[in-house]
A and B are shown apart, each in its own frame.
Chain A
Amino acid sequence: GAVVSQHPSWVICKSGTSVKIECRSLDFQATTMFWYRQFPKQSLMLMATSNEGSKATYEQGVEKDKFLINHASLTLSTLTVTSAHPEDSSFYICSASGGLADPYNEQFFGPGTRLTVL
């Protein structure tokens, strides 16, 4: 099956710093990637959808200037949390789909990144 990796798996940073999380599709071309945020004991909340070579589409209430998403290639998308604060601490999960190559748009999920902001 399709494999999606995330790096790092966990990160601890100081308040005010920026953190970059990478999401890679290892064995397929991901025309669309999704970024989710998950708080403890809660469901996944879609933050944004990114298509290769174009600007990301953010969900309502998600600050685009705070959560910068870049999808520069068919195998890599990055999420940068700028000027992180403790309330940004969360589990961030990405997923990737093959777009037109997959008529059902199935998403394949990465293992997640645990961000802790001190």
Chain B
Amino acid sequence: AQSVTQLGSHVSVSEGALVLLRCNYSSSVPPYLFWYVQYPNQGLQLLLKYTTGATLVKGINGFEAEFKKSETSFHLTKPSAHMSDAAEYFCAVSDRGEGGKLIFGQGTELSVKP
């Protein structure tokens, strides 16, 4: 069965600092991988996704993630945090044969200090 683990339920960084949110997955086949952001009382917005091809994926708002098969990881990074990045971030995995069903990690709340 697939699973997703996000290390750290809460991450706090200073404005301008590097953002690193960790995600590890388990899957019997190479999965599709996603990062979503959720602002309070809102739905999910896709930041980026890995499906095939280049393992370094660039997304919106300056975020990027690298698929590392050997480490079963898909960590999310941003070189310089902005106050508006404060939100909940979810990593998700989809088994290519499961009709698109997503398995979500527990989420990481990102706080950005001025």
Contact = CB atoms under 8 A, between A and B. Distances in A.
How many chain B residues sit at the interface, stated as a range, is: 20 to 34
Given A104-B32, A112-B41, A34 B90 contact: no
A31 to B, nearest CB: 10
A109 interface: yes
State the majority secondary structure of interface residues on A: strand
Contact of B99 (A6, A32, A108, A111): A32
Nearest to A97: B100
A106 B109 CA distance: 23
Contact of A93 (B43, B51, B94, B105): B43
A44 B101 CA distance: 12
Contact of B43 (A42, A104, A105, A110): A110
A104 B99 contact: no
B41 A109 contact: no
Contacts of B109: 41
A43 interface: yes
A60 to B, nearest CB: 12
B102 A42 contact: no
A107 B100 contact: yes
Interface residues of A, number: 25
Interface of A: 4, 6, 32, 34, 41-44, 46, 49, 91, 93, 95, 97, 99, 104-112, 114
18 contacts: A43-B90, A43-B104, A43-B105, A43-B107, A44-B90, A44-B104, A93-B44, A97-B100, A99-B100, A104-B32, A104-B49, A105-B100, A106-B49, A106-B100, A107-B102, A109-B36, A109-B43, A112-B41
The 4 closest A-B pairs by CB, nearest first: A105-B100, A109-B43, A109-B44, A111-B43
Given A34-B100, A34-B102, 11 more contacts: A32-B99, A34-B101, A42-B106, A44-B90, A44-B104, A46-B102, A93-B43, A95-B44, A97-B100, A99-B100, A106-B49
